[in-house]
């Protein structure tokens, strides 16, 4: 943030040391007030009149960006001293007669009421440690983190992996990593992630010209465009020839280690775009769409509204574990209660059928092919209102290239049998060999997402949800043509209804088309934390599916 002017420096706020943060806040406060006074010198105006009268816009000299950053810190910093001092600086600026920003929207998600999310400053000790770690690492506590924290065990693994991919020693330079993140997120028009990584790219010294379009980036990154679009939309088309093209391009060639790093980053951000749209993540407060300088229409508006953010903190109740908030006495319709009872009854019946008889291999194969074929006809009406996004198409080529089902116009794609190439037996060791420790981090994250359970379903406790979790994971892999020989795909139609399948397919294949109506229409009786849990399964199953196709092609190239 304008650090080149030498006036406002934010780095010290990430320190774990309170004295260092206090010194940084003093410097920030002095710099902001100096700028403010040059825009609106009000020495002769009584403070009460300056605050109540017409306010001066803050657009000059980069002040509006600084004030937006302070607004974000006053709401989202896990350190109370930073929140309070940021609020005080904003209050002083307003007293000088300058208009200050206020947040747009309510909370980190457009789909989840703010009162049902964790409020910063109201988190338990484990969550606070995660928030502090995230803030110290990234310089922000982003909305993805504030939604993922419904599941702290997963969030810890996610943050550790992302930190390693973006900031620790690795084959690719730091600015390449963020640019690849921008390329990947742009494939799904995910302006939320593009915005974050544009800022990070510039912060680590990236060339601003690259942001004018992929054609302005080095040829080496341009060459990655083809793999990016296939991984995002049609990973089953990736062959060893695509890998060979990247590795054998003379002066612009990739090393195997660099390519593995790039593939993991691409798949990470494709799947994170799915989470962003699937959970309706709101723009960050200090980014475009997250704040406004326009005065609100409500009368008697004051600084305390901005800095306190209309939070109904006392409306949050903790669960027995102290980690997952639930809404107070949610009123469930009779139909919704019947829906969850019916799902539990189906799970019980399927378990009994499993115990009694086992289908033949031929029948299992037939059921897979039927489910794969049927998944092609699961689609949403595309005229619904999805989240508005900035045009980010300059960050990738071939904007018309999108998701296509397997067997359009008689084209047939062979089934990918996990028994022939799996993450556990093949992908894991390849990644770990070429990019040490990352295979281990990814493996841990996959396992946490797949096995995560609180043994609850809506209002029911002590429920074994493994059958349902496996059905969700395997349905996603089925959409990508990936088959597990030991799984009965007949279970999927029993456990996942049409509205749920529409939501899953949209979030995984065309996340930018996800709407609040889709989110609301599946599992209507379940808690928001359970719907976020579903999204964690979608994220990790999608990432693993993309990785399997890319890593299999790399393995074939190497042999």
The total of other beta-carbon atoms located within 10 Å of residue 86's CB is 26
- Inter-residue contact 343 to 457 (CB < 8 Å): yes
Which sequence positions are flagged as catalytic? Answer: 190
What is the token pair recorded at 384? 């619904």
Q: Is 559 exposed, middle or buried (0-12, 13-18, 19+ CB in 10 A)?
A: exposed
> Using CA atoms in the order 432, 436, 439, 442, what is the torsion angle rounded to 10 degrees?
-170
What is the token pair recorded at 56? 């001066």
For the chain, helix (H) and strand (E) counts, in that order, are 23, 6
- Inter-residue contact 494 to 173 (CB < 8 Å): no
- DSSP secondary structure letter of residue 418: T
- Inter-residue contact 164 to 134 (CB < 8 Å): no
- DSSP secondary structure letter of residue 317: B
What does the alpha-carbon distance between residue 164 and residue 169 come to, in Å, rounded to a whole number? 8
What does the alpha-carbon distance between residue 109 and residue 157 come to, in Å, rounded to a whole number? 21
Q: List % helix, strand, coil for the chain (3-state, nearest 5).
A: 60, 5, 35
Residue found under tokens 């910093």:
77
The C-alpha angle 269, 274, 280, rounded to 5 degrees, equals 120
Question: What is the H or E stretch that residue 197 is in?
Answer: helix 191-203
């Amino acid at each position: 943030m304008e650090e080149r002017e030498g006036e406002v420096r934010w780095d010290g706020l990430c320190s774990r040391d309170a004295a260092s943060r206090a010194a940084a806040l003093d410097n920030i406060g002095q710099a902001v007030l100096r700028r403010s006074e040059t825009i609106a010198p009000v020495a002769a105006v009584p403070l009460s009149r300056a605050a109540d009268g017409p306010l001066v816009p803050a657009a000059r000299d980069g002040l509006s960006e600084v004030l937006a950053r302070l607004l974000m810190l006053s709401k989202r910093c896990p350190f109370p001293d930073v929140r309070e001092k940021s609020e005080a600086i904003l209050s002083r600026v307003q007293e000088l007669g300058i208009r200050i920003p206020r947040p747009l929207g309510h909370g980190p998600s457009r789909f989840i009421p703010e009162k049902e999310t964790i409020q910063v400053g109201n988190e338990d000790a484990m969550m606070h440690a995660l928030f502090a770690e995230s803030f110290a690492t990234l310089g922000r506590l982003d909305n993805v983190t504030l939604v993922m924290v419904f599941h702290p065990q997963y969030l810890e693994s996610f943050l550790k992996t992302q930190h390693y991919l973006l900031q620790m020693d690795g084959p690719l330079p730091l600015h390449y990593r963020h640019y690849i993140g921008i390329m990947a997120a742009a494939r799904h028009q995910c302006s939320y992630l593009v915005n974050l990584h544009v800022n990070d790219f510039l912060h680590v010294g990236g060339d601003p010209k690259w942001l004018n379009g992929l054609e302005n980036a080095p040829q080496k990154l341009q060459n990655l465009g083809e793999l990016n679009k296939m991984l995002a939309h049609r990973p089953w088309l990736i062959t060893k020839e695509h890998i060979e093209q990247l590795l054998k391009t003379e002066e612009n060639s990739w090393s195997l280690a660099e390519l593995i790093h790039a593939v993991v980053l691409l798949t990470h951000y494709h799947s994170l775009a799915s989470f962003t749209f699937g959970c309706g993540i709101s723009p960050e407060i200090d980014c475009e769409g997250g704040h406004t300088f326009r005065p609100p229409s409500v009368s008697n508006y004051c600084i305390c509204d901005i800095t306190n953010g209309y939070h109904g903190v006392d409306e949050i109740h903790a669960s027995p574990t102290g980690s997952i908030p639930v809404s107070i006495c949610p009123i469930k319709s009779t139909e919704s209660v019947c829906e969850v009872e019916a799902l539990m009854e189906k799970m019980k019946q399927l378990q009994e059928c499993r115990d009694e008889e086992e289908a033949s291999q031929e029948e299992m194969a037939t059921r897979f092919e039927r489910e794969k074929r049927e998944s092609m006809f699961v689609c949403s009406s595309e005229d619904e209102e999805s989240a508005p996004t900035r045009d980010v198409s300059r960050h990738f080529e071939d904007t018309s290239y999108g998701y296509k089902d397997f067997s359009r116009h008689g084209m047939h794609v062979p089934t990918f049998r996990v028994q022939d190439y799996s993450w556990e037996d093949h992908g894991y060791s390849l990644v770990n060999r070429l990019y040490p420790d990352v295979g281990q981090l990814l493996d841990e994250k996959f396992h946490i997402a797949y096995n995560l359970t609180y043994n609850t379903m809506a209002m029911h406790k002590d429920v074994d949800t493994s059958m349902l979790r496996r059905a969700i994971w395997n349905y996603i892999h089925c959409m990508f043509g990936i088959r597990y020989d030991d799984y009965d795909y007949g279970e999927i139609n029993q456990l996942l209804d049409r509205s749920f399948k529409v939501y899953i397919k949209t979030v995984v294949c065309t996340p930018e088309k996800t709407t609040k109506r889709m989110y609301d229409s599946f599992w209507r009786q379940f808690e928001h934390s359970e719907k976020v849990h579903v999204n964690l399964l979608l994220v990790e199953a999608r990432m693993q599916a993309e990785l399997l196709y890319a890593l299999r092609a790399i393995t074939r190239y190497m042999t």
